[in-house]
Chain A
Amino acid sequence: MSSNRKVAIIDYGIGNLYSVKKACEYVGLDSIITSNKIDILNCGAMILPGVGAFGNAMNNIQEKDLIESIQQFAKSGRYIMGVCLGMQLLMEYSEEFGKQNGLSLIKGGCKKFNFNENVKVPQINWNKIYSPNQYEIFSEESPLSKISQGTYMYFVHSFYVEPLEKNNILSITSYDNFEYCSSICKDNIFGFQFHPEKSGKNGLVLYDNFKNLIKK
């Protein structure tokens, strides 16, 4: 048995896993890049990274036979953090190329930004995150603890998450005056649309918070 404080970074063939691993190392979080079921289930927490297309990612996860393992992991109460596409995969579906099924850990889906042609999609941008309830700070029980309102994080995406239940929204962000959910949480499951491992020192605070949650 490996240490239950180790975090499994799920490798399903896409994404910049190196930076996620280096961010974990930076904050002193022991991690392993893996697609092996037994390794994953032996870990105390999970990071689900990802860039690219939703359908490709789900196909790869299915090919590696990991869907049930991830769902089982979530039910066990251990912490899961989805990053960028990894956040979108937590949902029930995405409207990317028709309708594709996700991991269904949180109710709701992913929709494409719908702007006029003057607004560039994907959003490739440093953008601000806020608590959905104005004047409130981010919960101390979340990885956003100690992060100020209006902090810039680095975003690259064309689709956004729309949770069915509003109380799953952990942060909101506005792109061309359109407000959407940029962080999500449900019990032990967190998702971030931005890349905390690419968002400078504030992004590393998030990794450090995640480490502290696991150690509690």
Chain B
Amino acid sequence: MSLRIIPRIDIKGPNVVKGINLEGLRVLGKPSDFAKYYYENGADELLYMDVVASLYERNSLQNIIEETASDVFIPITVGGGIRNLNDINTVLRSGADKVLINTAAIKNPEFIREAANNFGSSTIVISIEVIKQQNNNYLCFTDNGREFTGINAIDWVQKIQDLGAGEIVLTSVDREGTGNGFDDELIKSICAKLSIPLIIHGGAGSSEHVLNTAKEFPQIDGFGIASMFHYHFLKEYDIINKNFDEGNIDFIKKGLHPKGISPTHINSLKSYLYNNKIDVRLF
């Protein structure tokens, strides 16, 4: 099984954004520019997340997906604001291969079964956003870590598999954007209950973080990575001459990147993993 390296591109309106703990979003550029760059530089798959769609109850991704899928020929997973079968159909018809669902699945778990029956399990990816509690329990949140659900993450993993989910994207909201490394304790408890592919997201700050967690948990199928790749790409990206419809790009104009993040080329990460005996698709 080769480990999939999946750039995760968070989108707000027309822009790529990045925050810390899914909050404090900074504008980084245009989604299709990031997507094309990652496609041409060895990404195994792309993950698009419309980070405000479920909050404002709107779907704005369709045009961005169509634009991307016209010259990016790797699998594209799209999430954010997917509430019903019609939303799934719209996203797939625009060129996505899989959909990522969180809020709608928590509100109505039967939606997972319905979606899997209609589109096939392998199309339905469940996003689990987890925050560690003071009593060390891991609980699921929705709407990018804002809404408390009280659902235990480990119980939820069992349930969504029974309902026909095809894949899991597991986000540690505590680690997301920090570069502090992955929450191995969380991954361990999830892996114990796992029979479907698992993508880990939230915390990657360096290649070593990815290698160590991949070695410790061979059950992991892929890593979703944003900051490390985005801040590397930005060095090559002529952002100053791009026109932005909204958002503040002062931070990016100064050529800064957050503390704790080592900007890394996607192929450098893959070569590093390969040289350390992790099976990845070299380019």
A residues within 8 Å of B by Cβ?
A: 14, 16-19, 22-23, 25-26, 51-53, 117, 120, 122, 124-127, 152, 154, 156-158, 176, 195, 197-201, 203-204
Tell me whether A16 and B95 are in contact (CB under 8 A). yes
B73 touches A199 (CB 8 A): yes
CB closest residue in chain A, given B121: A122
Assembled-state Cα–Cα distance A22/B39 (Å): 15
Minimum distance in angstroms from B139 CB to a CB of chain A: 26
Q: Which residues of B contact A127 (CB under 8 A)?
A: 2
28 A-B residue pairs with Cβ-Cβ distance under 8 Å, sorted by A, are A16-B92, A16-B95, A16-B96, A18-B69, A18-B93, A22-B69, A22-B73, A26-B71, A51-B122, A51-B123, A52-B123, A117-B195, A122-B166, A124-B122, A124-B197, A125-B4, A125-B221, A126-B2, A127-B2, A154-B75, A158-B122, A176-B1, A195-B75, A197-B73, A198-B73, A198-B75, A199-B73, A199-B74
Is B176 interfacial (CB 8 A cutoff)? Answer: no
> Is B114 engaged at the interface, CB distance under 8 Å to the other chain?
no
Residues from 62 to 110 in B contacting A, C-beta threshold 8 Å? 66, 69-71, 73-75, 92-97
B119 partner, pick from A23, A52, A200, beta carbons under 8 A:
A52
A68 to B74, CA, bound (A): 33
Q: How far is the CB of B241 from the nearest CB of chain A, in Å?
A: 27
Give the A-B contact count at a CB cut-off of 8 A: 77
Asked whether, in the complex, the Cβ of A51 is within 8 Å of the Cβ of B281, the reply is no
Most chain A beta-carbon contacts within 10 A, residue among B73, B120, B121 = B73
**Chain B residues within 8 Å of A23, by CB:** 73
Cβ-defined partner of A52 (8 Å) among B44, B74, B95, B120: B120
Q: Does B167 contact A (CB under 8 A)?
A: yes
Cross-chain contact A126 with B281 (CB below 8 angstroms)? yes
Chain A residues lying within 8 Å of B70, measured Cβ to Cβ, are 22, 25
CB neighbours (8 Å) of A125 from chain B are 1-2, 4, 221
* Bound-complex Cα distance A158 to B166 (A): 11
Chain B residues with CB under 8 A of A25? 70
Of all chain A residues, the one with the shortest Cβ separation from B4 is A126
Give bound CA distance, A176 to B82, whole Å. 34
**Docked CA distance A164–B94 (Å):** 38
